[in-house]
Structure 1
Amino acid sequence: MVKASNSTEKNHKKKWEFPDTYVIVFAVLLIAVAATYIVPAGTFDRVETDGVTTIVSGTYENTESSPAGFMDVFLSVQTGMVESAGLIFLVLFAGGMFEIINKSGAIHTGIYSAIDKMKGKEFFLIATIIILFALGGAVGALANSVIPFVAIGVLLVKALKFDAIVAVAITFNAAFIGFSAGFLNPYTVGVAHNIAELPLFSGMVFRLVAFVLLVGATIWYTWRYCKIILNDPSRSLIGIEAAEDNELGFDEKFTGRHKLILIWTAASLMFFVFAVIKFQWTTDHMAAFFVIIGLVAGIIAGMNYNTIAFTFLEGCKNLVYGALIIGLARAVLVIMENGQILDTLVSALSQPLSALPPIATAIGMFLMNSVFNFFVPSGSGQAAIMMPIQTPLADMIGITRQVSVLAFQFGDGFSNVLFPTSGPLMASLAVAGVAWIKWAKWFFPLFLIWTGIAFVLLAVAVMINLGPL
C-alpha cells in the first residue's frame, strides 16, 4: 500500500517547465517594482531638438524617491498597453495582412513553382529558397508563421536526398536570418525605431548590405553541408530518409492571381519605403497601409467580403501573443520612469561603458541583447524593454541611436535560431524531427560566422556614425 501511495505521489508531481515569456516579463516587472525601493531616484535634464528628445550628459542629480505601490503594478500594465497601442496594432494588422496573402495560396504555390522549375539544379534551388524565405523574414512576413513551411522543406529535401537539418536550414533558419537583418521588419526594427525616435526604417541601405552578407554566408554554409551529404550520405548528422514515389505531389498551380498578389504586395512595400522617405510616414501609416494591402490582396484572390474579414481577424488573433507582450514590456518602463530609476540605471551603465572604445560598447550591446533574448525570446517585447535603456545610453557614450538599434536586432535575431527557449525554433525542429542537440551541433559554426559579420558591421557602423542620430 505504501509503495502504491508513493507511486501515486510521483505521478502527481508536475514536470518543471521553463517559464513562458509573459511570466518572465512579469517577473522583470516585479524586479523593477522592488528596485524603486532600493535604487536611488534621479533624473537627467533633457532637451528636444527637431522633435527628438535627448538627455544632457553630466546633468544627473538625485531626486526624491517614489516607490511603486501594489496597484501601481497593475496600473502600469494598463498604461503600458495604452502607450503601446500604436505598436500593438501595427503587429496585429501585419498578421492580418499576411494571413490573407498566405490563405490566397500565393506564397506556397510560388515556392512550389520555384521547386518545379529548378529540378536538377540543386544549388540554385537551395539558394533560391533561402533567399525567398530570408526576404519573407526581412519584411516581417515570415517569423512564427514559417513553421508550416518546414514540413514542405522536409518533403523537398527527401527528394533531393538531403537530411531534415537542411529542411530547417532553408526554411526556418533562412527566415530568421532575414528577420535579423530586418530592413523592413515592423516587429523589431519598426518597434525599435519608434522607441528610439528615429525615422521609420532609416538606415535601410546599411541593413540591405547586412542582409546580403548574412544571407550569402547562410547559403554558402548550407550548401557546403549539402555537398558533403551528396558525396558521402553517411556523414549526415541525423541520417537521410528517402522520399516515396510522388510524395512531392504538389497539385495546386501557381496562377496569374497568385502572381498578381505577390506583385501587388512587393510593389506596395516598395511604395511604403518611398513614402517613409518622401512623406515621413510613421508606424501608424504602416499599420493603416497593411489593412489596404490585405484588403486588395483578398479581392485579387477572389475572396468575398466575409472571408476577407474573417481571414484578417484570424491573422490578428495569431499575433495577439506577440503583440500584447509589447504592452507588458512597456509596463516595466512605466514603473522605472514613475519611480525615477531609469535615469539612475542609464547613469550607472554609462560610467563603465564610457571608458570603453565606442566599437567595444556597440559589441557589448549586441552581446547583452543576445543574453537577454534567452529569457525574453520576443523581438518586439525585447525592443520595448531594452531600447528605452539603450537609446539614452547611446547618446551618453557617443554612438548613434541607429547603431544601438542594429546591436539590438542582431542580438535578438541570431540567438532565436540557437536558444531552446525560442518557441518557433523548437516547433520547427519538432516538425522536421530533428533533435535540438543535433541542430545546435550543425548550426553553432554558422552562428559564430554570423556573430563575426555582426562585429564587423557594428564596427563599420560606429566608424561611419551610422545615422540619423
Structure 2
Amino acid sequence: MIKESDKRKRKKWEFPDTYVIVFAVLLMAAAATYFVPAGAFDREETDGVTTVISGTFENVESSPAEFMDVFMAVQTGMVESAGLIFLVLFAGGMFEIINKSGAIHKGIYSAIDTMKGKEFLLIATIIILFALGGAVGALANSVIPFVAIGVLLVKALKLDALVAVAITFNAAFVGFSAGFLNPYTVGIAHTISELPLFSGMVFRLIAFVLLVGVTIWYTWRYCKKILNDPSRSLIGIENAANNEMTFDEKFTGRHKLILIWTGAALIFFIFAVVKFQWTTDHMAAFFVIIGLIAGIIAGMNYNTIAITFLEGCKNLVYGALIIGLARAVLVIMENGQILDTLVNTLSHPLSALPPVATAIGMFIMNSLFNFFVPSGSGQAAIMMPIQAPLADMIGITRQVSVLAFQFGDGFSNALYPTSGPLMASLAVAGVSWAKWAKWFFPLFLIWTGIAFLLLAVAVLINLGPF
C-alpha cells in the first residue's frame, strides 16, 4: 500500500504560453544555422522598396549562431522592433482612456435602449459596432469585459449566452480579421513588407462588408430559431429575473464628443497616410494626441490621464513585447544567412502552383501557424519577413501576401482553443468550447470560402499598394 506521504502530485499539463513557443522557435532557428546551408539572394531597391531578384540565389559561407547570440538576438529584436512595440503600447494607452471615459459602454447601452423591440436591428447594430472596433484595433483582448454586457442583453431578449459571445467577441474578431485600419496586424505587416501604411484599404473595406454581412445573417438566423422555439438553443436559455435592462447613467454629450473626436481623428489619419505618407511612427504619436484630447474632453485631470494611459500601455505589454521576441527569430536567421535559403526552398513547390492556389496556400499556412502563435502582432513579425520575399519570388504582390496573413491569423482566433481571448470570453459567458465550436464552425467555413474568393480576385487584379 502506498503511503500518502509517498504519493506524488501530478501537475496538470498546460499548453505552452506564446512566449514559450516563440522562444522554442528561436532555439530551433539557432540550431538550424548549423545544418541548413547558408545562402542569399541579390536585392534591388525601387521607389524605397527592397525586393528579391528571382534566380539570383547562391550559397554563401555559413555563420552558425553561438550560445550568446541567441540571447543577444532577443535584445536586438526588441531594439529593431521598437517602433512597432511603441505603436502597440500607445494604442493600448489611447483606447484605455476612451474606455475609462465610459463613452464606449454608454454608447452601446444607448443603442440597446433606443432599439428595444427591434431585435434584428439591435443585433445587427451591435455586431457592426464591435466589428468596427475590431477593424481599427480598439477591440481585441479588450473585448472580454464586453461579453458580460452581452450576457445581460441576451437575457433580456430571451436568447442564450452563446449569442452574447457571437455579438461581442466574434463580431470584434471578424472586424479584426478584415482590419482595414488595424495597427496590430495590417499596420505591422505593411511596415515589414515595405508597403504604404494601410494601403489597399478599399479592398479591405469590401472584405469587411462581406464578412460582417454574413456574420449578421448567420447570427440572426440562430437567434430567430431560438425566438421561435427556445428548445433549439444549443446550450439552453437562462431566464432572467428581470427582462428589462436598466440604464443608470446617460449617454452624455461628453461621451458623444469623445466618440466623434476619435472617429474624426482616425478618418484624418487615413487622409494623412494618403496625402502626407504618414507611417507607423506618425500613428503611434497620433495615438498619444487622440488619447490626450479624449481625456480632456472626459474631464480627467492631468494625473488621471497619465495614469490611465500607462495602465493601457501595461495591458498590452504582453502583446507588444512578443513582436520583439518574434523579431529575434528573424535576427538569428538573417545573421546565420538561412532566411533566404528558406524562402528559396519554399518558392520551388509554390512557384509550380497557379498564383491563386499559392495565395490560398499562404492563407492555410498562416491559419495552421496561428494555433501555435495566437498573436497577430507576433505572427506578423515571424511570417511577413518570409512571405514578402516569397511573394516576390512566386509572382504575386506583397499586398496579396498581407491579405493571406491577416485572414489566416484572424479567422482562427475565433476557433482555436489556444486563443486566450476566445477561452476567456467563453468563460465569462459560461459557454463550453465544444458547444461554441459546433455553432461557429459552419460560419468559419463560410468566412474561409469568402477568403478564398477575395484572395483569388486580389491575385487576378494584381492587388497592389493602393
Distance apart, 1:376 and its partner CA: 0.0
Give the direction of change, closer, same or farther, for the CA distance of 1:447–1:107 in structure 2 (3 Å limit).
same
Distance apart, 1:248 and its partner CA: 2.7
**What corresponds to 1:175 in structure 2?**
172
**What corresponds to 1:161 in structure 2?**
158
- For the 8 Å contact 2:160–2:235, the answer to whether it is kept is yes
Q: Which amino acid aligns with 1:4?
A: E
Secondary structure at 2:296 match in 1:
helix
The total of aligned residue pairs comes to 466
Q: Which amino acid aligns with 2:452?
A: F
Match of 1:129 among 107, 126, 151: 126
**What corresponds to 1:369 in structure 2?**
366
Secondary structure at 1:38 match in 2:
coil
**What corresponds to 1:282 in structure 2?**
279
The answer to whether the aligner puts 1:13 opposite 2:7 as a matched pair is no
**What corresponds to 1:379 in structure 2?**
376
Q: Mean alpha-carbon deviation: is it higher for 244-253 or for 118-127?
A: 244-253
Distance apart, 1:252 and its partner CA: 1.4
Using the alignment, how far apart are the partners of 1:437 and 1:19 within structure 2? 21
The answer to whether the aligner puts 1:209 opposite 2:206 as a matched pair is yes
Match of 2:346 among 349, 356, 363: 349
Q: Where in structure 2 are the equivalents of 1:284-433 lying within 5 Å?
A: 284-433=281-430
Gaps of 5+ in 2: none
- For the 8 Å contact 1:190–1:200, the answer to whether it is kept is yes
Match of 2:85 among 64, 67, 88: 88
Using the alignment, how far apart are the partners of 1:391 and 1:244 within structure 2? 55
Q: Which amino acid aligns with 1:413?
A: G
Using the alignment, how far apart are the partners of 1:2 and 1:107 within structure 2? 59
Secondary structure at 2:34 match in 1:
helix
- For the 8 Å contact 2:44–2:52, the answer to whether it is kept is yes
**What corresponds to 2:21 in structure 1?**
24
Secondary structure at 1:447 match in 2:
helix
Using the alignment, how far apart are the partners of 1:245 and 1:334 within structure 2? 58
Match of 1:235 among 223, 232, 236: 232
**Aligned alpha-carbon RMSD (Å):** 0.9
Q: Which amino acid aligns with 2:365?
A: M
- For the 8 Å contact 1:165–1:439, the answer to whether it is kept is yes
Distance apart, 1:303 and its partner CA: 0.1
- Percent identity over paired residues: 88
Secondary structure at 2:199 match in 1:
coil
Using the alignment, how far apart are the partners of 1:298 and 1:248 within structure 2? 29
- For the 8 Å contact 1:42–1:341, the answer to whether it is kept is yes
TM-score with structure 1 setting the length? 0.99
Distance apart, 1:468 and its partner CA: 1.8
Q: Where in structure 2 are the equivalents of 1:78-157 lying within 5 Å?
A: 78-157=75-154
Q: Mean alpha-carbon deviation: is it higher for 179-188 or for 245-254?
A: 245-254
- For the 8 Å contact 2:156–2:242, the answer to whether it is kept is no
Using the alignment, how far apart are the partners of 2:155 and 2:243 within structure 1? 11
Distance apart, 1:4 and its partner CA: 1.9
- For the 8 Å contact 2:150–2:164, the answer to whether it is kept is yes
Distance apart, 1:249 and its partner CA: 2.5
Cα deviations by residue, 1:286-313 (Å, 9 ceiling, x for unpaired): 0000000000000000000000000000
Q: Which amino acid aligns with 1:393?
A: L
Match of 2:189 among 172, 188, 192: 192
Match of 1:220 among 217, 220, 228: 217
Cα deviations by residue, 1:206-257 (Å, 9 ceiling, x for unpaired): 0000000000000000000000101110010000011122773221110000
Secondary structure at 2:289 match in 1:
helix
Match of 2:46 among 31, 37, 49: 49
Q: Which amino acid aligns with 1:5?
A: S
**What corresponds to 1:467 in structure 2?**
464
Using the alignment, how far apart are the partners of 2:289 and 2:310 within structure 1? 14
Distance apart, 1:284 and its partner CA: 0.0
Q: Which amino acid aligns with 2:353?
A: L
Q: Which amino acid aligns with 1:446?
A: L
Cα deviations by residue, 1:41-85 (Å, 9 ceiling, x for unpaired): 000001011110001100000000000000000000000000000
Secondary structure at 1:2 match in 2:
coil
**What corresponds to 1:456 in structure 2?**
453
Using the alignment, how far apart are the partners of 2:187 and 2:311 within structure 1? 22
Gaps of 5+ in 1: none
Using the alignment, how far apart are the partners of 1:246 and 1:62 within structure 2? 71
Distance apart, 1:5 and its partner CA: 3.5
Q: Mean alpha-carbon deviation: is it higher for 242-251 or for 23-32?
A: 242-251
Using the alignment, how far apart are the partners of 1:357 and 1:452 within structure 2? 18
Distance apart, 1:3 and its partner CA: 3.9
Distance apart, 1:165 and its partner CA: 0.6
Using the alignment, how far apart are the partners of 1:275 and 1:245 within structure 2? 49
Q: Which amino acid aligns with 1:176?
A: F
Q: Which amino acid aligns with 2:236?
A: G
The answer to whether the aligner puts 1:2 opposite 2:2 as a matched pair is yes
Q: Where in structure 2 are the equivalents of 1:251-270 lying within 5 Å?
A: 251-270=248-267
Cα deviations by residue, 1:144-198 (Å, 9 ceiling, x for unpaired): 0000000000000000010001000000000000000000000000000000000
The list of structure 1 runs, each at least 4 consecutive aligned residues, that deviate by more than 6 angstroms after superposition, is: none
Distance apart, 1:2 and its partner CA: 2.2
Using the alignment, how far apart are the partners of 2:37 and 2:119 within structure 1? 61
Using the alignment, how far apart are the partners of 1:187 and 1:43 within structure 2? 30
